[in-house]
Amino acid sequence: MAGGYRGDEGRKTMIVSRLLGLWSILVLVWIPSTVFAVDLSEAGKAVVKLFVTHQSWDMKQPWTKNRSIKSTCTGFFVEQGILTNAHCVTDSTYIQIELPGMPDKVEAVRKAVNHQIDLALIELKDPSQRPDVTPIEFDNLPELRDKVVTVGYPTGGRQVSYTEGVVSRIDIMGYAHSGVNSLMVQTDAAINVGNSGGPVFSDSTGASIGVATQRSRNGGGIGYFIPTPVIKQFLTDIEDGRVDGVPVLGAFLQPMENPALRASVGMKDDQSGASTLVIAEGSSVSGIMDPRDVLLSIDGHQLYNDGRVPFRGDGKIGLGYHIVTHQVGDRVKLEILRKGKKKKLTVPLKELDLYIIPAMPEFETKPRYYEVGGMVFRAVEKRYIHSLGKSTPGGINEYMGVIRGEEDIDELVVIGTIFEASVNKGYGGFVKNIRVKTINGQVIKRLEDVKKAFDVKNKRKYDEIILSNRTRVVLDRKQVNEEQAGIRERYDIGD
């Protein structure tokens, strides 16, 4: 039979073949799936597991807190303490750390938090409990396709986990925790729940090149880590005992890729840059740059016509690359084109949220509100928006992305909740989440103006609230005074 085995010899050959096949399988099983170029065992001793209890504010009843929840994260020893992610310790009420060689978890406290760039420094409550481990040191910003190793405590097991991948992108990207754009590195090394706050190592040098922070919502095995330049900015920032944050320029730019657009502002063929559309009030360049100024360079680095700057040879990266490593108060040099003439400017950098509805949630602070007659007035911020569900009300949505100075308000004030009572009968939900424009004729620019407007001492019988859609809300002053205490007691409304 062609291709078959014959007699005893054939059977022996078949048995040997099967044994060889089984051996090859066994060999494959025993070959390590990950082979690292450097020994990370010593560095791994500096990586710890965090057990955190959180309790956040209730956005619908802002005088109370939600029930407590628990989470686990990763951190690691650096010279200044234990570095981790800000989101790992946000709203924390109790932090414990599992240290190598210790029979019990030990307590830790927060030392500094910067929510913008999702970094936090914590320290042991009892410094004498610090283990004898070598603090992890940081390398430089990695190169594309460099091999990296993430170390941490992802869910699914209790032992430390090592995963490897490569650097696939370096860019200015959105931080999931804060909603703010900053320098970040993308990798295909696994970063799962629990990995947050753990170190990312260079497989060639063994030094840390970042802190694991988030993974792609779209899956695909894509993770992100905070790179060394951002980490060093944070650690330098907190040396004086306070967090100033990461500065911003405050100019919103338009690309100048169209030749006619460039010619219209007097740009020459050998010039490139981006035109200023809007300048945020109170920002670094407020009162220094003008709309229609063309930004040509920052600290000697040319701007391309698409608004980006050169990065490592022929590459490009967002303008923020030359801002995020600076400290608040640092000065940067700008070269601009104003009405066809070059000008050089020196700008002191500030930290400022540029929008009427802040881009970053007001983490951990008690929500600001003012209640009268069962109506709760709120300053809109991201935590409140998230509490409303997936669909943002139109009255709020129209102010999303509005830059400071574009409207005559400092923040968006709305009626957030109405606790039903006789005094507010008939208003229900149709006046909620719409800008409060005036109260008793006074323009409401910020939440503090609401209290002042209601405290006006005059002989008015009614308080009149005008919303931005022209809806009128009228409250009887005498009735409010009569029902106020009862409303607060009935709904357990706190101060």
Residues tagged active-site? 87, 118, 196
A 10 A CB-CB count for 181 gives 17
Q: What pairs with residue 107 in β-bridges?
A: 96
The C-alpha atoms of residue 47 and residue 98 are separated, in whole angstroms, by 10
The H-or-E segment that residue 89 falls in is: helix 86-89
* Pairing status of strand 369-372 against strand 341-348: unpaired
Look at the block and give the residue holding tokens 């967002």: 318
Q: What is the largest CA-CA distance in the chain?
A: 117
Q: Which two tokens stand for residue 428?
A: 């229900």
Cα separation, 86 vs 75, in Å, equals 11
Q: How many CB atoms lie within 10 A of CB 353?
A: 19
Tell how far CA 324 is from the center of its chain. 14
Q: Which residue has the tokens 């859609």?
A: 469
Hey, which residues does 438 pair with through a beta bridge? 443, 466
Distance CA 213, CA 75 (A): 11
Under 8 Å between Cβ of 351 and 308: no
Residue 334: partners with Cβ closer than 8 Å, 6 or more residues away: 285, 289, 295, 297, 298, 344, 345, 346, 347
3-state helix, strand, coil in the chain (%, to 5): 20, 35, 45
By the 8 A CB rule, do 303 and 313 touch?
no
